[in-house]
Amino acid sequence: MQEESHSTHNIFVCSTPANQGFLSVPREEIHVVRHRFAVHEHNARRAGLHYDLRLEMSGVLKDWAFRKPPPLEPGVKRYGVQQEDHDLHWLDFEGEMKEGYGAGTMKIWDKGEYEVLEMTPEKAVLVFYGSKLKGKYVMLKFKDGWLFFKV
């Protein structure tokens, strides 16, 4: 059983440089291939139920936490906060995390591949190929967080 490596990590108040957006993604990765993604339903004892969107980029998982599940229909927006990067092994993780702020149950809500259509430091247009997330989505920097919506 794996345990969360960031024991003091607060998913909704992030003091790490995580909120840098997509700046750290090398330009050559933008229009090359499909990358993997996962959405975890994370029922944390302290933080409560939330959903982690994890996108494979540059050898790590870029991570955003949302209070509600990702939108499946156009017109529904979700506000989330970018988290610190995670190791790739979290992509397939399901199970019980026993220690730290994230202690609780985590299961995969959806997973698959995605491709990047457009990317700037404050906006990404992505196409998801998952079992639930399908089609074109936008991530847009908004105040201290990000809006995520289907178009």
- pLDDT, residue 22, reads 56
- pLDDT, residue 39, reads 99
Which residues does residue 112 pair with via DSSP β-bridges, in sequence order? 37, 130
In a domain, 9, yes or no: no
In a domain, 13, yes or no: no
Cα–Cα distance for residue pair 111/128, rounded to 1 Å: 9
* Model confidence, pTM: 0.79
In a domain, 97, yes or no: yes
- pLDDT, residue 13, reads 35
In a domain, 123, yes or no: yes
In a domain, 44, yes or no: yes
- pLDDT, residue 101, reads 67
In a domain, 127, yes or no: yes
In a domain, 11, yes or no: no
- pLDDT, residue 125, reads 97
**Overall number of domains in the chain:** 1
- pLDDT, residue 47, reads 86
Specify burial of residue 52 (Cβ count, 10 A radius: 0-12, 13-18, 19+): buried
List the structure tokens of 20. 């840098």
Residue 72's φ and ψ, nearest 5 degrees, are -105, -10
- pLDDT, residue 28, reads 56
- pLDDT, residue 36, reads 98
Cα–Cα distance for residue pair 125/148, rounded to 1 Å: 10
Range of the domain at 115: 29-150
Question: Which residues, at least 6 apart from 93, have a Cβ–Cβ distance to it below 8 Å?
Answer: 2, 40, 106
pLDDT tens, position by position, for the chain (151 residues)? 343 343 333 333 333 345 555 555 555 555 557 999 999 999 998 889 999 999 999 999 999 999 999 999 999 999 999 999 999 999 999 999 887 768 899 999 999 999 999 999 999 999 999 999 999 999 999 999 999 999 9
- pLDDT, residue 30, reads 53
What pairing do the DSSP bridges indicate for beta strands 104-120 and 35-44? antiparallel
List the structure tokens of 76. 């529904």
Q: How crowded is residue 107: how many other Cβ atoms within 10 Å of its Cβ?
A: 11
In a domain, 73, yes or no: yes
